[in-house]
A = this chain, B = another copy of it.
Amino acid sequence: MDRMDQKIVAILRRDGALTGVELGERVGLSASAAHRRVKAMEAEGLIRGYRVRFSPQALGMPSTLFVSVTLTDQRQETLERFEAALKRCEQVVEAHLMGGEIDYNVKLAIPADDSYERVHRDVLAVLPGVERLRSQISIRAVVEQA
């Protein structure tokens, strides 16, 4: 991770579909040198993979829900069971163990053909160790994944 790698990271963060040729031109290396650095970062785990950004239409116009979760206690076993259950929920897009009052902050994508009520009843209320849930609905995404 030298200065050149950081330069490549900065460029690739903005556009993930750059060719080795263009990347090389932008950082001042040959195509193969630039490409080899990218492959090295992949091998080291600095680059975890590549993703396609889909429009909400392509994904069935899901709406976004944020749920603050308080568990019954903070015992390691309670956390582990809750996290394992979370990971199995396909509606869960992102989840964080939090500091402060709330234990978990969970982001869900709810398909257009599904209801918030059903997800609350069948997905969230079923999670093990939950004491309190506080849900907030996103009306509109203002900024997305810089």
Contacts and interface: CB of A to CB of B under 8 A. Distances in A.
Interface of A: 1, 9, 12-13, 15-17, 41, 45-55, 57-59, 64, 66, 83, 86-87, 90, 92-100, 102, 104-106, 109, 136-146
Q: What number of copies of this chain does the assembly contain?
A: 2
Contacts of A83: 142
Contact of A94 (B41, B109, B141): B141
A55 B51 contact: no
B50 A54 contact: no
A141 B90 CA distance: 16
A42 to B, nearest CB: 10
A12 B52 CA distance: 7
Majority SS at the chain A contact face: strand
B9 A96 contact: no
A46 B53 contact: no
B99 A142 contact: no
A16 to B, nearest CB: 4
Contact of A51 (B45, B53, B105, B109): B53
Contacts of A16: 16, 49-52
